Amino acid sequence: MTDWADPDTLDLSDGETFDRLLDRADTREKGHFFEFFAEGDKLVHDPGLRLTHHGSEQWMGQTLNHDPAYWRADTAQERGFEERPVHPDYLLACVMGITVEDLSEKGGYFLGRDDVEFYQPATAGTPLSVTSTVVDTRTSSSRPKYGIVTWETEGRNRETGERLVSYQRTNMIPRREPAATDGGAVGEQDESDPTLPDTLVTPEGEHFEDFQRALDTAREENAAVAYRHERGRTMDDQLVAGLPLATLNTARQHHNRDEMADSPSGDIVAYGDVTRSIALAHARSDEATYREHRFADERFHDFVTLGDTVYGFTRVLDCDPDAGPSRAGAVTFEHVAFNQEQTPVYSGRRTALIQRDT
């Protein structure tokens, strides 16, 4: 009998032999298909990521997030942080990155996120502990190869148990068995042109009072407070593959061009949290942010691939002078990330505390 454990019985450097062998081998799978998930299931994510200043600074530098409170201890203290925190976009991306192996490594796309709530600033050295619960699963009527899954995820400090952030996230997840239907059940499109405001008002400065004054002006003039940000960021390999991998995000969508060639995007795409963080950075560069508070109704509308440039657009929705400490008021924004063809790729509502002028 042949001893197949003997290294000399098979020459794996011979292309033809190896090719035939590979075709007969089972694949040790990673990630889960749609059918794996059932409402109410709880998943405890294992990867042991510890937040670092290096990771946060790499994230901030690449995404143009330059708020000094996350770069310098003195400014952090002036802004009321006990210790210089890591950036909230990095925290969020790390908490989500850890979940990917269990939830979305199989492919499919990040469609949206809701109810993002930050409970306290996270500092470097914090080890993360992340859990998710399946809140909804359904088949997709328009894409028979995919199902749609929503999870509730919570990130905590593994040492103290303190809750840092939580959110609900929805992804398209490939089905092991594509549905028999041909899909294509697309609802009726409204072809009429939407009404636009007469004018768009731009705040004169970056403080809470500037946003409030702009909103007051707009209310009198059938106008909206809305403006675009000048900066753009072209997606390179560091952004598309490097940053997600640094948060332990193993989604093939960002680093496996071979697998993604035969997918709806046809190529690797940027991690949604990178695209969003760039658009938010553009917006933050035009405001005096005091604290990030919460995000809602985040949606990823279109793919961002290598070579695309991400720009930002902001609409101001509301100002609340009573929410927050005396030195800041709450502003609710709608932010849109768009590409070089002016196609929206991300939109989301953000409530942040903005510093007052005085």
Ligand X SMILES: CC(C)(COP(=O)(O)OP(=O)(O)OC[C@H]1O[C@@H](n2cnc3c(N)ncnc32)[C@H](O)[C@@H]1OP(=O)(O)O)[C@@H](O)C(=O)NCCC(=O)NCCSC(=O)C[C@H](O)C(=O)O
Q: Of 56, 62, 63, 104, which lies in the binding site for ligand X, with binding defined by CB under 6 A?
A: 104
Helix (H, G, I), strand (E, B) or coil at 107: coil
What radius of gyration do the chain's Cα atoms show? 23
Q: Does 280 bind ligand X (CB under 6 A)?
A: no
Give the 3-state secondary structure percentages of the chain, helix then strand then coil, rounded to 5. Answer: 25, 35, 40
Which residues have a Cβ under 8 Å from the Cβ of 26 and sit 6 or more positions away?
none
> How far apart, in whole angstroms, are the C-alpha atoms of residue 250 and residue 228?
33
Q: Does 269 bind ligand X (CB under 6 A)?
A: yes
Interaction mask 285-324, ligand X, x per CB under 6 A: --------------xxxxx---------------------
Q: Does 170 bind ligand X (CB under 6 A)?
A: yes
Minimum CB separation from ligand X for residue 301, in Å?
A: 6
Beta strand spans in the chain (E): 42-45, 110-118, 128-139, 146-157, 163-174, 199-201, 223-234, 289-300, 309-320, 328-338, 344-355
Q: Does 37 bind ligand X (CB under 6 A)?
A: no
Which residues have a Cβ under 8 Å from the Cβ of 80 and sit 6 or more positions away?
325
DSSP secondary structure string for all residues of 315-338: EEEEEETTSS-TTEEEEEEEEEEE
Q: Does 251 bind ligand X (CB under 6 A)?
A: yes
- What secondary structure letter does DSSP report for 70? G
- Are 72 and 81 a contacting pair, CB within 8 Å? no
Q: Does 249 bind ligand X (CB under 6 A)?
A: yes
Q: Does 272 bind ligand X (CB under 6 A)?
A: yes
The region of 10-18, 159-167, 210-218, 248-256 touching ligand X under the rule CB under 6 A is 248-256
Q: Does 112 bind ligand X (CB under 6 A)?
A: yes
Phi, psi (deg, nearest 5) at residue 247: -105, 15
- Count the residues of the shown chain that bind ligand X, applying the rule CB under 6 A: 26
> How far apart, in whole angstroms, are the C-alpha atoms of residue 213 and residue 215?
5
Minimum CB separation from ligand X for residue 287, in Å?
A: 25
Q: Does 332 bind ligand X (CB under 6 A)?
A: no
Q: Of 253, 263, 277, 314, which lies in the binding site for ligand X, with binding defined by CB under 6 A?
A: 253
> How far apart, in whole angstroms, are the C-alpha atoms of residue 215 and residue 201?
8
Q: Does 111 bind ligand X (CB under 6 A)?
A: yes
Long-range CB pairs of 263-268, under 8 A, 24+ apart, other chains included: 263/107, 264/109, 264/143, 264/303, 265/109, 265/303, 265/305, 267/305, 267/306, 268/240, 268/241, 268/305, 268/306
- What secondary structure letter does DSSP report for 198? S
Site for ligand X in 177-206 (CB under 6 A): none
Minimum CB separation from ligand X for residue 109, in Å?
A: 4
Q: Of 91, 93, 95, 100, which lies in the binding site for ligand X, with binding defined by CB under 6 A?
A: 100
Residue nearest to ligand X (CB): 112
The region of 28-36, 166-174, 216-224, 332-340 touching ligand X under the rule CB under 6 A is 166-174
Q: Does 141 bind ligand X (CB under 6 A)?
A: yes
- Judged by beta carbon, residue 132 or residue 249, the one nearer ligand X is 249
Q: Does 171 bind ligand X (CB under 6 A)?
A: yes
Minimum CB separation from ligand X for residue 255, in Å?
A: 10
The region of 117-125, 157-165, 267-275, 321-329 touching ligand X under the rule CB under 6 A is 267-275
- Judged by beta carbon, residue 37 or residue 300, the one nearer ligand X is 300
> How far apart, in whole angstroms, are the C-alpha atoms of residue 94 and residue 87?
11
Residues that bind ligand X (CB under 6 A): 100, 104, 109-112, 140-143, 148, 170-172, 249, 251, 253, 264, 269, 271-272, 299-303
